[in-house]
A and B are shown apart, each in its own frame.
Chain A
Amino acid sequence: MQDKISGRIYKFGDNVNSDIIIAGRYLIYIDPVKLAEHAFEMLGEGFPAKLRSFDILVAGRNFGCGSAREQASTAIQGLGIKAVVAASFARTFYRNAINDGLPIFECPALYDAVTEGDQISIDLAGGLISHAGKSYDFPRIPESVAKILQLGGLANYLKSTLETGSAPR
């Protein structure tokens, strides 16, 4: 995982559910490219194509609520999105994103400050998000869990522990 994630943001509201992110009929796929073709298409014309010109999603409260479908985070990655910053996440999406290697940040203060197309920069080591000359801090993911994200997701993490024989107790 990079130390810094920068780019243009697309802004969503509160309670974006995982049915909106990827509809149930596409759960026959697990491939990010395939899933991305249909990501957010429930939002109507222009989706998902227009999201491809953005780098980071910013959302309000409870992003990813509803179904526990892991493909929600996979589909976002397939769009080329590098991170999601939300006021808060639904717990299933939060876990799935970490397990899928999609960096996520809880930062309610940033939400009101940004508008679509703004440039933000996330400093992972410093724990700060910069926007228009201001910085906003976010709670760090616990170290034991951050390891999963650093290795690019749970499958990689598991593979590494199986190879080194360090895991299953």
Chain B
Amino acid sequence: MSQTIAEKILAAKAGLDRVTPGQIVDAYPDLVMSHTATWRSVSVMKKIGAKHLYDPNRLAIVLDHISPAKTEKYASDQQTSRNFAREYGIEKFYDVDAGIAHLVLMENGHVKPGDLIVGTDSHCTIYGALGALGSGIGYTEVASVWVTGKLWMKVPTTIKLILNGRFAPGVSAKDLMLHLIGTLGADGCGYKSVEFDGSALPEMSISERMTMANLAMEMGSKCVFIPPDEKTREWLLPRLKDPASYRPVVADQNAVYEQSIEIDLSKLTPMIACPHQVENTKPIAEVMGTRIDQAFLGSCANGKYEDLVVAANILAGRKIDPRVRLIVTPGSKQIMLEAMRSGVLATLIESGALVTNPGCGACAGDGGTMADGEVSLSTANRNFVGRMGSNKSSIYLSSPATLAASALKGVIADPREFF
């Protein structure tokens, strides 16, 4: 029987020939990611008296939320994680200098097509940008996978999203995703796998694919796939320790999809997610002119090098509105280095931006805290009430281009005049 990507990967990791939606399998992940939550999983191991790991090479630890430590409590928790990594010889350990776990793991060749990856973060779906099945779990379950090597997983049904046409200038993958989340809803893909397809895909960069696989979580997706192609191979081969391990997994031609939805990219306009739900999306025309106090360019959704370049191209030679605080948090050390060497960081700083160290930054409440009544525009993936500070502040979400245009004007602004 023909199978989807999710079915193929779950079958392989459960040691089965084939699986069907609804079936519950014991799957063995290739990688277990834990971030700042690592100390909590360590405490579970202690609590249950477990001493041995199933396979230390399958662990990846990245200290990305609240980094470097801001209080003694964070410092002590990070110390617990660091000591654990040393004690167990975890080679894929990245300290507070590295950046956001998802981007760090992909940049360093720890994610490849066909992998099953679970971790303490809902946005693990992002690994599907490279054709891997990524899904979020809690810290107790991470400890369980550390010790037993496996977890139960229900085989999901799959929805196919077919992308045709090309984005108009000033419209990007973020606008596509906000459009989809608004249309399908916060649980539109609940418990389901999402496979992207269509004639637009080969043109889309790995960075755009990461934005798509990341944001698709906000429709409730269990996992998301952009089927690996020539672009995936080109991006990944130089990063893989063992290039021979690159083996694309794609769906069979007659695989069964619960639903197929076609989207014509050329018809999309810049989109904004309004407070306090990501599904509360509106075309920019309906929100333009909304005053903003802060603009945050960063996160695993849009803190990548290409995102910084888009913003820098709009901000070059201009000054942001003096009433706006523009905070730029590069997604990783590699991204920050690249932006430094190319002059992108200088352009951003000259326009009035504050550039912080790489990591999750303001998206995870690390700096950029909002006061009562303040409004933030953000390129991150969530605008939930109080996520960036006061529960009387508001967060709007946009693409990097819309963010840069808005920082210049002091109000939510249409980026298309800059293209």
Contact = CB atoms under 8 A, between A and B. Distances in A.
Interface of A: 15, 17, 19-20, 23-25, 27-28, 30, 41-44, 61-62, 65-70, 88, 90-92, 95-96, 99-100, 142, 144-145, 153-155, 158-159, 161-162, 167-169
Given A42-B385, A68-B138, 18 more contacts: A17-B277, A19-B387, A20-B384, A20-B386, A28-B71, A62-B187, A65-B186, A90-B187, A92-B137, A99-B138, A99-B144, A142-B24, A154-B141, A155-B44, A158-B147, A159-B47, A162-B50, A168-B147
Contacts of A28: 71, 73-74, 77
Interface in B374-419: 382, 384-387, 391
Contact of A153 (B40, B73, B135, B140): B140
A102 to B, nearest CB: 12
Interface residues of B, number: 48
Contacts of B138: 68-70, 92, 95-96, 99-100
Interface stretch (B148-156, B288-296, B299-307): B148-156
5 contacts: A20-B385, A23-B365, A68-B121, A88-B187, A158-B144
Contact of A100 (B121, B140, B149, B387): B140
Given A15-B277, A155-B140, A169-B150, A91 B222 contact: yes
B81 interface: no
A30 B40 contact: yes
B391 A144 contact: no
Interface in B352-370: 364-365
A144 B151 CA distance: 11
A158 B14 CA distance: 20
B280 to A, nearest CB: 10
Contacts of A153: 140
Contacts of A161: 148
B386 A19 contact: yes
B385 A62 contact: no
Interface in B121-152: 121-122, 135-141, 143-144, 147-150, 152
Interface in B324-341: none
B177 to A, nearest CB: 16
Chain B interface main SS type: loop
Contacts of A30: 40, 43, 139
A27 B365 CA distance: 11
A24 B140 contact: no
Given A66-B384, A169-B149, A91 B191 contact: yes
Task: List 10 A-B pairs, minimum CB-CB distance, nearest first.
Answer: A70-B138, A68-B136, A62-B187, A19-B384, A68-B122, A96-B138, A42-B386, A159-B48, A24-B365, A42-B391
B126 to A, nearest CB: 13
Contacts of B140: 70, 96, 99-100, 153-155
B382 A19 contact: yes
A22 to B, nearest CB: 11
Contacts of B44: 155
Interface centre among A43, A65, A100 (most CB of B within 10 A): A65
A50 B222 CA distance: 34
A17 B277 CA distance: 9
A69 B136 CA distance: 9
Contacts of A95: 137-138, 141
Contact of A68 (B120, B149, B277): B120
Contacts of B122: 66-68, 92
A90 B121 CA distance: 14
B137 A90 contact: no
Nearest to B71: A28
B190 interface: yes
B88 interface: no
B54 interface: yes
